[in-house]
């Protein structure tokens, strides 16, 4: 085989070259005595996120030099990546702070302003241009769970009646202030949304080509008043750089960019994770202790009440369980644990499925039936295994059979446990599926049917099933013998 025809060997992680440490490089640059002109040229090669990562590690004087070298526009991009941005805004005079926030996208500007003290916030807003303030007020007018609160006004639009040349001039003129130019938008004379144009199509079009020939009129869009959770799946399905946001009159007022969609998905996952963990809200690692307690205590109190109910049910069964069946208490945690695990699995799968807006009633019934079958099969497998191993354990490793002198007493106990596992697993699968579906139906976020809540509900049902079935099999119909 000739040298050029050789197939390259497969690389592994150990053979890869070491990545550049941009943060370390920037810290070294900060320690060197560069002129502002030199510093500007050097920093031009680094991403704003990497620069933001070293800002907290610089002293105030060095930060000031970085700001001067970067310029207002790039500083605004850097500030958009900072976590505790209010600390650095406070270092600046109000006019410079206003210029920086004014250069940000309106959605990023809102995030920064919300972190400032009210007096500082009002002072900065009073120094900003009316157009920027209007954009901020527009986005801020929407509720946090509405798409309008996640949009940006960083986009380029022009009348559908423009020629290709006019449209191109508009792009060139506005590209400095609106850098989200991969997708452009065409509107009707009254400002209503008409369609979208890809920049590459506009660049390739001839001057004589009618603009309407390259406008996609069936382009996806969302309404500002739609809730994030309702149209999140739609946003994810379209692999577009941006999707237009319309008001109730179909007027184009903003766009949702791919970066916004990533942030929205991340926020939704964080909120769902918090609810699945039994939290009222998502928690931050640095937040005050009492704030964390406030988020956790509501569900804990609800779960405490349910736990007390489970305990009271168990105590009632203690009065009616014969002494020869007290061994069943030893395996109570097994039944409750497997029931809770099964219910949580069904809950997780159901919440994921419910995010699909095309999930019809027929599909829901089919899904419930499928979960029941899965629960039944899992229950049969665990029931058979439990029957064999618990039977052997009670028969050969405990004194119960010898003390009671009943043949097959160990396997009578394990058979009851096996039956209970099958029953509780099927019921847990049903609860883990139906409860979130019911919550969704009545307009409550299905993630509220959190893991701890489903587990505690299943504990209650499992206790009733386990001891009720035990009394039925041993006492009522006498299927198995037990010592009196």
Contacts of 238 (CB under 8 A, 6+ apart): 220
The sign of the torsion formed by the CA atoms of 114, 115, 116, 118 equals: positive
Question: What is the token pair recorded at 259?
Answer: 């970066």
Q: Quick one: pLDDT at residue 458?
A: 82
CATH 3.10.580.10 fits 157-261, yes or no: yes
Burial classification of residue 197, based on how many CB atoms lie within 10 Å of its CB (0-12 exposed, 13-18 middle, 19 or more buried): buried
In degrees, rounded to 5, the angle at the alpha carbon of residue 265 between the alpha carbons of residues 264 and 270 is 95
Beta-strand ranges (E) seen in 174-330 are 183-187, 193-198, 222-223, 242-246, 252-257
Per-residue pLDDT tens digits for 451-464: 677 778 888 888 88
| Residue 1 pLDDT class (50, 70, 90 cuts) | very low
Token reading at 409: 């007493």
* Contacts with 216 (C-beta within 8 Å, 6 or more apart), sequence order: 195, 196, 197, 198
* Least confident stretch, 137-151, 257-271, 365-379, 462-476: 257-271
CATH code given to domain 24-141: 1.25.60.10
User: pLDDT band for position 34 (50/70/90)?
Assistant: confident
Query: Which of 61-65, 127-131, 353-357 is the least confident region?
Result: 353-357
Give the residue-averaged pLDDT of 369-378: 91
Q: Let me know: does 147 contact 242? Beta carbons within 8 Å.
A: no
pLDDT (0 to 100) of residue 482: 57
- pLDDT attached to residue 314: 72
User: Residue-wise over 293-311: b if at least 16 C-beta within 10 A, else e?
Assistant: eebbeebeeebeebeeebe
Identify the DSSP state of 227: B
The mean per-residue pLDDT over the stretch 387-396 comes to 88
Model-level pTM?
0.57
In percent, the amount of the chain with pLDDT more than 70 equals 81
The pLDDT tens digits for 258-317 are 777 777 766 665 555 555 544 445 444 455 677 666 766 676 677 678 778 777 777 776
Average pLDDT over residues 45-64: 90
Please report the pLDDT score of residue 318 as a whole number.
67
Q: Which of 173-187, 285-299, 437-451 has the lowest average pLDDT?
A: 285-299
CA-CA-CA-CA torsion for 407, 410, 411, 416, nearest 10 degrees? 120
Phi, psi of 434 (to 5 degrees): -75, -40
Position 295 scores a pLDDT of 60
* Residue 157 pLDDT: 92
- Check if CATH label 1.10.357.20 holds for domain 300-476: yes
CB contact burial 199-236 (16+ within 10 A = b; e otherwise): bebbeebeeeeebeebbeeebebbebebebbebbeebe
At residue 483 the predicted structure's pLDDT band, cuts being 50, 70 and 90, is low
| Helix, strand, coil share (%) of the chain residues, nearest 5 | 65, 5, 25
Average pLDDT, the chain: 81
Q: Where are the chain's structural domains?
A: 24-141, 157-261, 300-476
Give the residue with greater pLDDT, 269 vs 363. Answer: 363
Q: How confident is the model at residue 440 (pLDDT cuts 50, 70, 90)?
A: confident
Percent of all residues in the chain with a pLDDT value above 90, rounded to a whole number: 19
Of the listed ranges 213-227, 326-340, 348-362, the least confidently predicted one is: 348-362
Least confident of 103-112, 132-141, 168-177, 322-331: 322-331
pLDDT score at 475: 67
């Amino acid at each position: 085989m000739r040298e050029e025809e050789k197939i390259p060997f497969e690389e592994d992680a150990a053979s890869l070259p070491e990545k550049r440490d941009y943060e370390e490089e920037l810290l070294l640059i900060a320690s060197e005595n560069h002129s502002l002109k030199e510093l500007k040229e050097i920093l031009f090669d680094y991403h704003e996120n990497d620069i933001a990562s070293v800002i907290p590690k610089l002293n105030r004087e060095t930060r000031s030099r970085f700001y001067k070298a970067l310029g207002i526009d790039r500083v605004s991009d850097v500030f958009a990546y900072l976590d505790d941005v209010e600390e650095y805004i406070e270092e600046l005079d109000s006019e410079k702070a206003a210029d920086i926030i004014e250069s940000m996208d309106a959605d990023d500007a809102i995030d920064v302003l919300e972190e400032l003290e009210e007096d500082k916030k009002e002072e900065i807003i009073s120094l900003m241009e009316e157009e920027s303030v209007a954009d901020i007020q527009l986005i801020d007018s929407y509720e946090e769970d509405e798409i309008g609160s996640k949009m940006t006004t960083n986009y380029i639009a022009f009348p559908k009646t423009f020629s290709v040349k006019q449209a191109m001039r508009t792009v060139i003129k506005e590209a400095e202030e609106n850098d989200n130019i991969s997708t452009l938008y065409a509107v009707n004379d009254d400002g209503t949304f008409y369609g979208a144009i890809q920049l590459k199509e506009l660049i390739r079009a001839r001057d004589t080509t009618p603009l309407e020939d390259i406008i996609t009129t069936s382009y996806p869009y969302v309404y500002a008043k739609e809730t994030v959770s309702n149209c999140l799946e739609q946003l994810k399905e379209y692999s577009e750089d941006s999707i237009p946001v319309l008001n109730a009159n179909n007027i184009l007022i903003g766009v949702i960019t791919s970066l916004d969609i990533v942030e929205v998905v991340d926020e939704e996952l964080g909120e769902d994770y918090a609810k699945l963990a039994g939290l009222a809200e998502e928690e931050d690692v640095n937040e005050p202790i009492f704030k964390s307690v406030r988020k956790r205590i509501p569900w804990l109190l609800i779960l405490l009440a349910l736990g007390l109910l489970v305990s009271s049910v168990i105590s009632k069964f203690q009065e009616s369980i014969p002494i020869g069946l007290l061994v069943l208490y030893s395996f109570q945690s097994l039944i409750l644990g497997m029931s809770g695990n099964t219910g949580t699995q069904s809950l997780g799968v159901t919440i994921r499925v419910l995010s699909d807006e095309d999930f019809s009633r027929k599909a829901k019934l089919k899904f419930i039936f499928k979960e029941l079958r899965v629960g039944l099969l899992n229950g049969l497998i665990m029931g058979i295994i439990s029957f064999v191993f618990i039977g052997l354990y009670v028969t050969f490793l405990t004194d119960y059979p010898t003390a009671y002198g009943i043949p097959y007493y160990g396997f009578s106990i394990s058979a009851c446990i096996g039956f209970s596992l099958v029953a509780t697993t099927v019921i847990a699968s049903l609860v883990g599926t139906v409860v979130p579906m019911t919550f969704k139906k009545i307009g409550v976020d299905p993630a509220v049917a959190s893991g701890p809540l489903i587990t505690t509900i299943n504990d209650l049902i499992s206790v009733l099933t386990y001891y009720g079935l035990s009394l039925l099999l041993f006492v009522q119909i006498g299927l198995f013998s037990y010592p009196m």
